[in-house]
Structure 1
Amino acid sequence: MEISNQANLPTKFGNFIIQSFKEDNLEHLVIMTKELSRTPLVRIHSECLTGDVLASKKCDCGDELHIAMNRISKEKGMIIYLRQEGRGIGLFNKINAYALQDKGYDTVEANEALGFASDNRDYKIVGKILKHFNIDEICLLTNNPKKIEAISKFVSVKRDSIIATPNKYNKKYLMVKKQKLGHLL
């Protein structure tokens, strides 16, 4: 694993420190407050170009990222931004999954129709990042019980929910996350 230098990152949500962790040709980010609380508030956020950058209303990703940045800037913690687009299937395949969703597939059915699992993400790098910062307990901002289970292999996890306001474009998506993926919504 390669680790970049730290740099200041002033944002509309507050001032952060940013650092990159590179492994297996993937460059992940840590966006954190200058000081961390004893049990930092942590959001492990998988990249979603369409939601995070393009403000897509088909998902809740961009809204969750902004909620997390706002809370973390006030409560001291970090966002671990994983370069695992489309639940780990990549941007190209995610767009193909979107096309299937336009034909009536839900998010899980679309991934499976393309030959992928409903969630292909890997969280091993998170354990390495938390170890780098000597963190052994976190308050994890998530609704995903599988993420809690995966991260609990590395540190003690308390959970705090993160709820974005639904809209007419993502209601079915959120329902599928709850019913098929077990999200705590």
Structure 2
Amino acid sequence: MDIRSLTMFQHLSNSLHFGRTAAAYHISPSTLSRSIQRLEQELGSQLLIRDNRSVLLTGEGKKLLAYADQQLAQYETLKQSLNQSQKELSGSLNIYCSVTASYSYLPALLEKFRRTHPNIDINLDTGDAADGIDQVKNQKVDLAIAARPDDIAASMHFQTIATVPLAITAPAISCAVKTALQAESIDWANLPI
């Protein structure tokens, strides 16, 4: 007994017409009849009462129809489940970033990522943000959160997730640093920062 035999039997049980069921499965009525006879031999029971004018289900045929309905529904559910799991990404994602970035940027990004890709395991490694690009280049991680360099390698893809403003903080009291920062031309090399 296979899925095709069950589906043909199910269709025939509902149509009660060999010609219509045979046409639905693109086979001849005699081929359908042989398939039903094989089912009857395999199960050791007469499933249909048939003559030249009508087809009726026997008690055993009704039992097989109930079984076929249940099994074919489960088979369809299984197929849908397998198709869905093949469409979903699975595996692991290795991320490198600074501890600061792991608190500042990752929570919002990972929350959204986990909703859309629940079957991905995320591994986080933290360290100096300056090492992030090398971690990716050396294939130690899949992605890193790092500052964008001036020169971007063709093998790398960068996606901006935030722009961080930088500012100089200077003392409010009079001192050498404040005086140097107020000069027309700042001597950055000798500024005591």
More helix by share: 2
Give the TM interval when normalised to the shorter protein. Answer: under 0.3
TM-score normalised by the chain length of structure 2 = 0.22
TM-score normalised by the chain length of structure 1 = 0.23
